Amino acid sequence: NAGVTQTPKFQVLKTGQSMTLQCAQDMNHEYMSWYRQDPGMGLRLIHYSVGAGITDQGEVPNGYNVSRSTTEDFPLRLLSAAPSQTSVYFCASSYRSGTGRATGELFFGEGSRLTVL
Amino acid sequence: TQLLEQSPQFLSIQEGENLTVYCNSSSVFSSLQWYRQEPGEGPVLLVTVVTGGEVKKLKRLTFQFGDARKDSSLHITAAQPGDTGLYLCAGAPRRGSSYKLIFGSGTRLLVRP
């Protein structure tokens, strides 16, 4: 069972470089989100999507772009990497219940550890 | 901005002891969840509480949602080394908004054999 798959697991960038963190889910979930996790700060929401073609900003969106062209994929793009973006990034998905609302359970990938020098 | 504060940040106890982790906010949440995260992995859902005053039990873990839906607690009875991990509480600001949860900073638990 693949679930939520993130690639790469580890990446080192130099300041100013750009890159894309990939996220794919095979559960046909409508909702997908990107979080970053920093020591002592829990997880903070970067961007989220409620369906293909629909994205919105979370708490800390600056410096990141997302798109959702398919239900399965939700890539996160770093436009010009900065040392402040050194973090562990988690992609998560969740599904809509029969009531039409999100069910409440987030399914997370294993994370992508990014270091910006 | 809604915030969730967890305490303690770090807890080191002996196997067999009991412990309680707290998750507090000045804001009301429609639901609150507890996740456990192990090193190198993503968080995994333990429980969701929805109703004020609700208590849920998962084996030796007891979860409670405050009457006013602003706080929650996790109590572990007779902790075991397998309980070691990072415990995160997360709140949904509005009903049906659980795809954009607000997370607490986490409680790192170490249970020594």
Reported as a single tens digit per residue, the pLDDT across A68-97 is 999 999 999 999 999 999 999 999 999 876
Instruction: Verify whether the Cβ–Cβ distance A33 to B99 is below 8 Å.
Output: yes
Name which of B6, B44, B99 is nearest A94 (Cβ-Cβ). Answer: B99
Is B94 within 8 Å of chain A by CB? no
DSSP helix/strand/coil, B33: strand
Give pLDDT, residue B105: 92
Whether the upstream peptide bond of residue A75 has omega within 30° of 0, thus cis, is no
What does the pLDDT look like over A41-50, one tens digit per residue?
789 999 999 9
Checking if the pLDDT of A98 tops 70, the result is no
What would the two tokens of residue A103 be? Answer: 């069910």
Mean pLDDT computed over B62-72: 95
pLDDT of residue A101 exceeding 60, the answer is no
Contact B92 A104 (CB under 8 A): yes
Contacts of A20 (CB under 8 A, 6+ apart): A75, A76, A77, A78
Q: If you measure CA to CA, which chain A residue comes closest to B30? A: A104
Chain A touched by B2 (CB under 8 Å): no
A105 vs B6, B48, B100: nearest CB: B48
pLDDT tens-digit readout, A20-55: 999 999 999 999 999 999 987 789 999 999 999 999
What is the pLDDT confidence band of residue A64, given thresholds at 50, 70 and 90? very high
- Please indicate if any CB of chain A lies within 8 Å of the CB of B40: yes
* E strands, chain B, in order: 5-7, 10-14, 19-24, 31-37, 44-49, 55-58, 61-65, 71-76, 85-92, 102-103, 107-112
Integer Cα distance of B61 and B75 in angstroms:
6
The pLDDT assigned to A99 comes to 61
Quote the pLDDT of residue B110.
Answer: 97
Among B42, B99, B102, whose Cβ lies nearest the Cβ of A108?
Answer: B42
Residue B44: its pLDDT value, please?
A: 95
B55: pLDDT strictly greater than 80: yes
Average pLDDT for residues B51-64, to the nearest whole number?
A: 95
What is the pLDDT, as a whole number, of residue B87? 97
Backbone angles phi, psi at B66, to 5 degrees: -65, 155
Judged against a pLDDT cut of 70, whether residue B50 lies above it is answered with yes
* Cβ atoms of residues B105 and B89 within 8 Å: no
CA A62 – CA A84 distance, rounded (Å): 11
CA distance A79 to chain B (A): 23
